[in-house]
Amino acid sequence: MKSYRAHMGKGLSGLYKTEQDVPVPGPGEALIRVKACSLNFREMMIIFQGRYPLPVRQDVIPVSDGAGEVVAVGEGATRVKPGDRVMASIFPNWLEGPFNMDQAAQLGGSLDGMMAEYVVLREEALVTVPSHLSDEEAAALPCAGVTAWHALQCGVPIQEGETILTLGSGSVSLFALQFAKRLGVRVIATTSSPEKSERLKALGADEVINYKARPEWHMAVREITGGTGVDRVIEVGGAGTLTQSVMSTALNGQISLIGGLANHVDKVDYNALVSNVYSLHSIAVGNRSHFSNMVRFMESHQLKPVIDRVFSFDEFDQALVYYKDSNPFGKVIIRVS
């Protein structure tokens, strides 16, 4: 079989294609023929930036997100069978409950990932693909989709009639927008252009703020909400936007923080951070239970992810550069087989 391998922080010069034997599933494992993968910002951090908050093995098979078909199972495997269409949980050992470091092993990091024609995974880590999704659509779900779902469900789950704020048009924000509207939630979104504003409205956004035209966008949020602020912020901008997110949040509201603030804490206004009573939840993707619940929700509402562009397996390097340089609206997919 063919696979790609990457050296952390070496960019495209550290990326190469290789051939190896098709792996054999052991007890409780399944052999998956990978059909499609999708990219996330974590791949940019690992491959181009050479930094990531969790361990990354050298010469790793990259990419955390993938979907495929079970072709064989090992002894004792009962959750899946040959012919099943499945997606892989990024954290194969995190099945339910809160995250801890005993569950930190992750695909495309400390474990080989999905950028291969075949992979072997623990059957407990697999989630069945919704019947209404293609392989390419299914591959879009494991990181961005689960993160958005977890961000809406953490702490006190978002309730019908509440208001959320999503930042930008990255995949986590787009998933959060789609989920929130089906939950009966009002969505205010921010973006950088009139064209993206129209696309966000087409997905269901009730109000869109152009943060280039309105740099102090938290004031616009307050105006739209009659001064009260939003019940939840899906915070994907890190230190660069956290101050305004706090100032956009209603009393006793919640901020779901995706990503970190390391090396940028000087950009956060301390006075703003303590000017309101709110809760801050740091989101580490989600467990298999989050994943399964999200899939059931998507199936019941026939929801599909937003896909920006699809590349072939041999165009993996081009897909990485496109993701890094183009600010895609939706997921970048690699069709494997």
Looking at the whole model, is its pTM more than 0.75?
Answer: yes
What's the pLDDT at 261? 45
| Chain centroid, CA 10 distance in Å | 23
Q: Is 121 helix (H, G, I), strand (E, B) or coil?
A: strand
What's the pLDDT at 240? 80
Name the residue among 273, 289, 275 with its Cα closest to residue 235.
273
What's the pLDDT at 66? 98
Name the strand (E) or helix (H) holding 37. Answer: strand 29-38
What's the pLDDT at 267? 66
pLDDT in tens, 223-234: 999 999 999 999
Furthest C-alpha separation in the chain:
62
Q: Mean pLDDT of successive 10-residue segments in the chain (337 residues)?
A: 97 97 98 98 96 94 98 97 97 95 96 98 97 98 98 95 97 98 98 96 98 96 98 88 93 89 57 78 94 98 98 98 96 97
CA atoms within 13 A on the CB side of 230: 31
The amino acid at 306: V
d(CA 70, CA 86): 7
Q: Which domains does the chain have, with CATH numbers?
A: 2-140+305-335 (3.90.180.10), 147-283 (3.40.50.720)
CA atoms within 13 A on the CB side of 140: 26
